């Protein structure tokens, strides 16, 4: 009888120790009683009766999901490979355990299909230049679909958009053509502005003959320092005219 009592007490102690569970601050325990949902417990020390109750631990911290490279065909029929990273966390442990068999795998598969479907609606230029907007679009779609699983998608970041060699060369040629176009436009705008300024200067000089003569003299002064070339510079008639008239008067008999 004595040994039976000791064995019974030892059994109770073992059962009591086996019933104890410690959940950290970022953990919750979804407890089932004989297969039926009983509640969400934690954090701290909780008791789970072996054989009668079962507990599933759920991590509430933000999880990082690496989405593998996906073959995406853009709206302008360009094939690219795109990978991304998804940040999400469980906000309702009950739904995350009861509504989906494996919320990690389910979120991963959903992220892959959503990445292909959302990016397929945009052109290649948008994928390369408007990543912030695309990140928000993918995050919104994912968050709406995972809400029924008790999961909150906090952020989505597109990491790489890989192109084949032929497409890289085509983009480089397009960029070079765009730079050449801008250079020609800038040059043409400069010529237009210069011609407008020259026309304004000519109009101002034409109003006074003295100003035109001073401009000729200034030009002569500027080119006088270059002695390596022979320069033929026409003199205006309003300068030569008075000299010719004076010479004629000297030659005429008095």
Q: Residue 145 and residue 164: Cα distance in Å, rounded?
A: 33
Q: Are strands 44-47 and 79-90 parallel, antiparallel or unpaired?
A: unpaired
3-state secondary structure of 120: coil
- From 138, 144, 86, select the one nearest 116 (Cα to Cα): 138
In the CATH scheme, what is the homologous superfamily, with its name and number, of domain 63-163? Band 7 domain (3.30.479.30)
Q: Which residue has the tokens 């039976």?
A: 4
3-state secondary structure of 141: helix
- From 146, 171, 139, 138, select the one nearest 72 (Cα to Cα): 138
Q: Residue 224 and residue 230: Cα distance in Å, rounded?
A: 10
pLDDT in tens, the chain (254 residues): 655 577 666 666 676 677 888 899 999 999 999 989 999 998 998 888 888 899 999 999 999 999 999 988 888 888 889 999 999 999 999 999 999 999 999 999 999 999 999 999 988 888 888 889 999 999 999 999 999 999 999 999 998 888 877 665 666 666 677 778 888 888 888 888 888 877 777 777 666 665 666 666 666 666 666 665 565 656 555 555 565 565 666 666 55
Peptide bond into 43 cis (omega under 30): yes
E strands, the chain, where?
20-23, 27-33, 36-41, 44-47, 53-59, 63-73, 79-90, 151-162
């Amino acid at each position: 009888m004595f040994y039976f009592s000791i064995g019974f007490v030892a059994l109770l102690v073992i059962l009591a120790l086996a019933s104890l569970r410690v959940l950290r601050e970022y953990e919750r325990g979804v407890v089932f009683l004989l297969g039926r949902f009983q509640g969400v417990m934690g954090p701290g020390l909780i008791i789970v009766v072996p054989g009668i109750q079962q507990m599933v631990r759920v991590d509430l911290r933000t999880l990082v999901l690496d989405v593998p490279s996906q073959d995406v065909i853009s709206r302008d029929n360009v094939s690219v490979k795109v990978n991304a990273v998804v940040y999400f966390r469980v906000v309702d442990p009950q739904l995350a355990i009861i509504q989906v068999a494996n919320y990690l795998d389910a979120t991963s598969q959903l992220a892959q299909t959503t990445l292909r479907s959302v990016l397929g609606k945009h052109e290649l230029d948008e994928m390369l230049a408007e990543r912030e907007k695309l990140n928000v679009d993918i995050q919104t779609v994912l968050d709406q679909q995972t809400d029924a699983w008790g999961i909150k998608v906090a952020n989505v970041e597109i990491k790489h958009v890989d192109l084949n060699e032929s497409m890289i060369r085509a983009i480089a040629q397009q960029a070079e053509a765009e730079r050449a176009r801008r250079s020609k436009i800038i040059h043409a705008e400069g010529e237009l502005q210069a011609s407008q300024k020259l026309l304004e200067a000519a109009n101002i000089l034409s109003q006074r003959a003295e100003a035109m003569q001073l401009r000729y003299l200034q030009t002569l002064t500027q080119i006088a320092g270059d002695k390596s070339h022979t320069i033929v510079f026409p003199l205006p008639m309003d300068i030569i005219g008075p000299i010719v008239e004076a010479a004629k008067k000297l030659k005429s008999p008095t």
